[in-house]
């Protein structure tokens, strides 16, 4: 009796202690930063000039970090404090637990291999256990790492930033570049004590990013916190298997950190649309921080949970940066596995007598059907993919045309990646030749939609984008049999409802080569 009481007591004590050391929820911050670009990016400047520009950007990032770390009390108004009881009271004074800042947010872009060099620092492997703020001279000249570390330490917040790493090499390494060094596009994370806890070298460099080298092997970088396990990758990496999918599937991270310099491409690859879809498709939290540079169509940041976006920002009109904060579950609740072919493979085809036509979406040739009625059931197929749509519009306008499209093929422009896509989209004009062109506004709301396809992959990202580039949080869901369906009439007119599937294993398939050649020739 006494023993069992004692055991109970120990169990309760253990429970309280373990609760105190981990958090059920946390506050995330992302900062869309209006980057200050150097005047000269094509000729090398002195290290002092380079640092002067970086410090101007760091001044702005410092403002965001300070503000994020203090916004907690005001942010929590109207919310309960219950989920934070497990932690010490210092947490309440501390504010956001982690803040993500964008790719290229400290030195900008448009460099050559030589002109980026004065901006680079040697970034050590985090295993060296280094707090640059306390020990600034340990690894040579590292003023940017020192400043980020002190910023994290002084504000007791995890900081995620993107900077450049340099590593010298020599003839003992046959792949060593002629100038005797590797240069890497690098994400760094400093914990709330200022310690360097993660370093990630971008794997999938974008077109013209030839100032940097890709690492020889993809780096799968994770770290643990009291508010979940984190993984990190950068911008274009999101379209590929390694390390992005590996981090979620094998390392089982709870939250992805995503610095990016993302140029919006409609209808399927605008930042907020695609990043929120990836969070939902992969069932992870996703913290996306984009540069703010409307001239290059760079805007769109957000904090996305697997079930729905928590907060997002899209602004092509002003020159201002923007800080976003939201609460997330430290360990997102597991949701049922989706079989992306289950529903569609059992549906009968309906064409309602409509004539198919082809249209180009970001250089890919889709097969389309026009949605001529106010509602109905349609099927359109291309190669192995058949897409089914049930829908009802609020009204059938004569000045607007929508189409259902299917694409099953290798995309070859600005990167090579195999896609299977089912999409409902608004055509730019009532001329069917414009179906697939970029369009930002619409007038037609939908009473309901349900979209599915016979996908040959488990990697399908569900997108819903409304007029003027807005997301539709809480308005749709994915069922375990692979339908993307509305829960209520859309809150705004619809630009697109899309299932964006990736067949990673076909990216380099030999039989894809002929496609690649013909398509490349066509678009040369
Ligand atoms: C670029 O040059 C202008 C004019 O000389 C100056 O006002 C501005 O501060 C410079 N910008 C940077 C980032 O050095
Ligand atoms: C980038 O460099 C090119 C020259 O290569 C120049 O024409 C362009 O204006 C630069 N863009 C920015 C944003 O500085
Ligand atoms: C060449 O690089 C290797 C590996 O970094 C290093 O161990 C070696 O000392 C270098 N050799 C010379 C001659 O610098
Ligand atoms: C991270 O936490 C998980 C679960 O608590 C544990 O299994 C893993 O070993 C930890 N990893 C590190 C690097 O501490
Ligand atoms: C998904 O559903 C299809 C059709 O019902 C079925 O043939 C297939 O085995 C299912 N796949 C998995 C992985 O359960
Ligand atoms: C479309 O399909 C749904 C469910 O399969 C059915 O209830 C509905 O009657 C169909 N509508 C039309 C216009 O065929």
In a domain? residue 358: yes
pLDDT of residue 16: 32
Q: Which atom of ligand 2 is nearest to the CA of 37?
A: 14
Query: Separation of 232 CA from ligand 2 center, angstroms?
Result: 29
In a domain? residue 58: yes
Cβ of 208 below 6 Å from ligand 1:
no
**Residue whose pair of structure tokens reads 């040739």 in the numeric block:** 365
Query: Separation of 397 CA from ligand 4 center, angstroms?
Result: 56
* Pocket residue to mutate for ligand 4, from 229, 230, 251, 330, most atoms within 8 A of Cβ: 229
Residue 291, Ramachandran bin (φ over 0: left; ψ between -120 and 50: alpha; else beta)? beta
Number of helices (H), then strands (E), in the chain:
9, 23
Tell whether 159 and 75 lie within a shared domain: yes
Judge whether 202 counts as a catalytic residue.
yes
Residue nearest to atom 9 of ligand 6 (CA): 376
3-state helix, strand, coil in the chain (%, to 5): 25, 30, 45
- In order, the DSSP letters of 37-75 are PPS-SSS---HHHHHHHHHHHHHHHHHHHHHHHH-HHHH
Q: Which atom of ligand 1 is nearest to the CA of 49?
A: 14
And the tokens for 519? 């398509």
**Residue whose pair of structure tokens reads 């609740």 in the numeric block:** 333
pLDDT of residue 466: 98
Cβ of 376 below 6 Å from ligand 6:
yes
Residue nearest to atom 9 of ligand 4 (CA): 224
Tell whether 303 and 362 lie within a shared domain: no
For 211-230, give one letter per residue: b (16+ CB within 10 A) or e: bbbeeeebbbbebebebbbb
Centroid of chain to Cα 516: 27
Judge whether 114 counts as a catalytic residue.
no
Ligand with the closest atom to the CA of 231: 4
Residue nearest to atom 13 of ligand 2 (CA): 110
Cβ of 175 below 6 Å from ligand 3:
no
Ligand with the closest atom to the CA of 379: 6
pLDDT of residue 401: 98
The torsion defined by the Cα of 82, 87, 92 and 98, in degrees rounded to 10, comes to -110
Element (H, E) at 464: strand 460-466
Taking alpha carbons only, the member of 149, 157, 179 closest to residue 166 is: 179
Cβ of 18 below 6 Å from ligand 4:
no
Cβ of 53 below 6 Å from ligand 1:
yes
Tell whether 308 and 431 lie within a shared domain: no
Query: Separation of 394 CA from ligand 6 center, angstroms?
Result: 17
Judge whether 235 counts as a catalytic residue.
yes
- CATH code where residue 132 lies: 3.60.110.10
Ligand with the closest atom to the CA of 341: 5
pLDDT of residue 510: 55
In a domain? residue 7: no
Residue nearest to atom 6 of ligand 4 (CA): 224
pLDDT of residue 372: 95
Computed from CA positions of residues 141, 145, 148, 153, in that sequence, does the dihedral angle turn out positive or negative? negative
In a domain? residue 2: no
Tell whether 284 and 393 lie within a shared domain: no
Q: Which atom of ligand 6 is nearest to the CA of 350?
A: 14
Last residue of a domain, one of 264, 297, 329: 329
Taking alpha carbons only, the member of 323, 454, 430, 483 closest to residue 380 is: 454
**Catalytic member of 153, 195, 202, 506:** 202
**Catalytic member of 103, 121, 209, 370:** 103
Tell whether 312 and 359 lie within a shared domain: no
Tell whether 32 and 162 lie within a shared domain: yes
Last residue of a domain, one of 296, 329, 362: 329
Tell whether 348 and 240 lie within a shared domain: no
Tell whether 406 and 480 lie within a shared domain: yes
Last residue of a domain, one of 300, 329, 358: 329
Ligand with the closest atom to the CA of 170: 3
Tell whether 128 and 180 lie within a shared domain: yes
Cβ of 21 below 6 Å from ligand 4:
no
Residues with CB under 6 A from ligand 2: 37, 42, 110
- CA dist 93 and 357 (Å) reads 60
pLDDT of residue 512: 44
In a domain? residue 48: yes
Residue nearest to atom 7 of ligand 5 (CA): 342
In a domain? residue 79: yes
Structural contact between residues 257 and 230, judged by C-beta atoms closer than 8 angstroms:
yes
Range(s) of the domain holding residue 451: 344-523
- CA dist 21 and 415 (Å) reads 44
Residue nearest to atom 3 of ligand 1 (CA): 39
Element (H, E) at 244: helix 244-249
In a domain? residue 67: yes
pLDDT of residue 77: 33
Tell whether 27 and 96 lie within a shared domain: yes
pLDDT of residue 40: 85
**Catalytic member of 133, 150, 235, 427:** 235
| 524 residues of the chain, pLDDT tens digit each | 455 554 454 443 443 333 447 899 999 999 999 999 999 888 999 999 999 999 999 999 999 999 999 965 444 433 333 333 333 333 344 489 999 999 999 999 999 999 999 999 999 999 999 999 999 999 999 999 999 999 999 999 999 999 999 999 999 999 999 999 999 999 999 999 999 999 999 999 999 899 999 999 999 999 999 999 999 999 999 999 999 999 999 999 999 999 999 999 999 999 999 999 999 999 999 999 999 999 999 999 999 999 999 999 999 999 999 999 999 999 998 888 999 999 999 998 876 678 999 999 999 999 999 999 999 999 999 999 999 999 999 999 999 999 999 999 999 999 999 999 999 999 999 999 999 999 999 999 999 999 999 999 999 999 999 999 999 999 999 999 999 999 999 999 999 999 999 999 999 865 444 444 444 333 33
- CA dist 47 and 51 (Å) reads 6
pLDDT of residue 5: 52
- CA dist 13 and 10 (Å) reads 5
Ligand with the closest atom to the CA of 296: 2
Q: What is the pTM of this model?
A: 0.90
Residue 413, Ramachandran bin (φ over 0: left; ψ between -120 and 50: alpha; else beta)? beta
In a domain? residue 78: yes
pLDDT of residue 271: 98
- CA dist 259 and 153 (Å) reads 21
Tell whether 213 and 361 lie within a shared domain: no
Question: Greatest CA span in the chain, whole angstroms?
Answer: 83
For 432-468, give one letter per residue: b (16+ CB within 10 A) or e: bebbbbebbebebbbebbbbbbbbbbbbbbbbbbbbe
Q: What radius of gyration, in Å, describes the C-alpha atoms of the chain?
A: 24
Tell whether 434 and 289 lie within a shared domain: no
Residue nearest to atom 1 of ligand 1 (CA): 39
Q: Which atom of ligand 2 is nearest to the CA of 295?
A: 13
Query: Separation of 53 CA from ligand 1 center, angstroms?
Result: 9
Q: Please give the tally of structural domains in the chain.
A: 2
């Amino acid at each position: 009796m006494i023993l069992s009481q004692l055991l109970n007591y120990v169990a309760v004590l253990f429970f309280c202690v373990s609760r105190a050391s981990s958090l059920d929820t946390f506050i995330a911050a992302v900062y869309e930063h209006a980057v200050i670009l150097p005047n000269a990016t094509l000729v090398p400047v002195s290290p002092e000039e380079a640092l002067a520009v970086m410090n101007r950007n760091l001044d702005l990032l410092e403002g965001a970090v300070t503000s994020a770390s203090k916004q907690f009390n005001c942010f929590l108004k109207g919310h309960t404090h219950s989920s934070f009881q497990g932690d010490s009271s210092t947490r309440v004074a501390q504010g956001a637990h982690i803040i993500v800042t964008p790719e290229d947010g400290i030195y900008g872009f448009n460099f050559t291999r030589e002109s980026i060099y004065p901006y680079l620092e040697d970034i050590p492997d985090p295993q060296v256990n280094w707090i640059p703020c306390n020990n600034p001279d340990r690894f040579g000249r590292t003023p940017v790492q020192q400043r980020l570390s002190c910023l994290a330490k002084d504000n007791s917040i995890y900081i995620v930033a993107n900077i450049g790493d340099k590593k010298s090499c020599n003839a003992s390494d046959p792949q060593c570049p002629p100038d005797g060094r590797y240069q890497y596009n690098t994400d760094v994370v400093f914990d709330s004590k200022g310690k360097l806890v993660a370093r990630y070298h971008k794997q999938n460099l974008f077109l013209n990013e030839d100032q940097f080298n890709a690492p020889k092997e993809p780096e799968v970088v994770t770290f643990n916190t009291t508010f979940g396990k984190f993984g990190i990758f950068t911008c274009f990496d999101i379209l590929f298997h390694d390390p992005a999918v590996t981090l979620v599937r094998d390392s089982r991270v709870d939250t992805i950190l995503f610095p990016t310099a993302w140029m919006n491409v409609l209808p399927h690859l605008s930042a907020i649309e695609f990043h929120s879809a990836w969070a939902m498709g992969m069932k992870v939290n996703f913290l996306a921080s984009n540069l703010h540079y409307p001239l290059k169509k760079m805007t769109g940041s957000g904090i996305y949970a697997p079930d729905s976006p928590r907060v997002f920002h899209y602004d092509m009109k002003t020159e201002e940066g923007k800080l976003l904060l939201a609460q997330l579950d430290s360990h997102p609740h597991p949701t049922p596995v989706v079989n992306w072919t289950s529903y569609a493979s059992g549906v009968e085809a309906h064409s309602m007598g409509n004539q198919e036509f082809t249209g180009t979406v970001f250089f890919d040739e889709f097969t389309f059907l026009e949605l001529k009625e106010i509602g109905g059931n349609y099927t359109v197929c291309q190669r192995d993919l058949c897409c089914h749509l049930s829908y009802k519009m609020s009204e059938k306008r004569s000045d607007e045309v929508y189409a259902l499209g299917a694409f099953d093929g290798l995309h070859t422009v600005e990167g090579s990646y195999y896609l299977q896509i089912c999409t409902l989209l608004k055509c730019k004009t009532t001329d069917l030749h414009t179906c697939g062109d970029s369009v930002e506004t619409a007038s037609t709301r939908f009473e309901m939609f349900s979209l599915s396809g016979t996908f040959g992959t488990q990697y399908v990202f569900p997108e819903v984008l409304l007029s003027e580039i807005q997301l539709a949080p809480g308005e749709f869901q994915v069922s375990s049999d692979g339908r993307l369906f509305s829960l209520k009439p859309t809150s705004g007119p619809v630009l697109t409802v899309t299932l964006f599937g990736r067949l990673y294993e076909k990216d380099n398939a030999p039989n894809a080569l002929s496609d690649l050649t013909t398509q490349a020739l066509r678009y040369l």
